[in-house]
Amino acid sequence: MQGVIKSYDPASGDGTVVRDTDLSELDLAANALSGSIFRMLRQGQRVVFDLDTDGRATALRLGSEVDMETPDH
């Protein structure tokens, strides 16, 4: 799945991502950045992610423009 970071608190690790397909807001899982290149997230940052069994965003990673279906300019 793909989306944009809406909020992120580096002290607590709490955050929200807005999913591209339906604009739903999903909480970040506690381990969302585990094994990721990310150490911090910023508002508006585009990410690719999976959902855990509780419906929270996890396994955040960068995606290529192809992954994110970015239109050609």
Domain ranges of the chain: 2-61
pLDDT tens-digit map of 23-66: 999 999 999 988 877 778 999 999 999 999 999 999 999 865 45
Contact 33, 60 (CB under 8 A): yes
Asked if pLDDT for residue 71 goes beyond 60, the answer is no
CATH number of this structure's domain 2-61? 2.40.50
Contact 54, 38 (CB under 8 A): no
Amino acid at 32: A
pTM of the model: 0.81
Q: Does residue 15 sit in helix, strand or coil?
A: strand
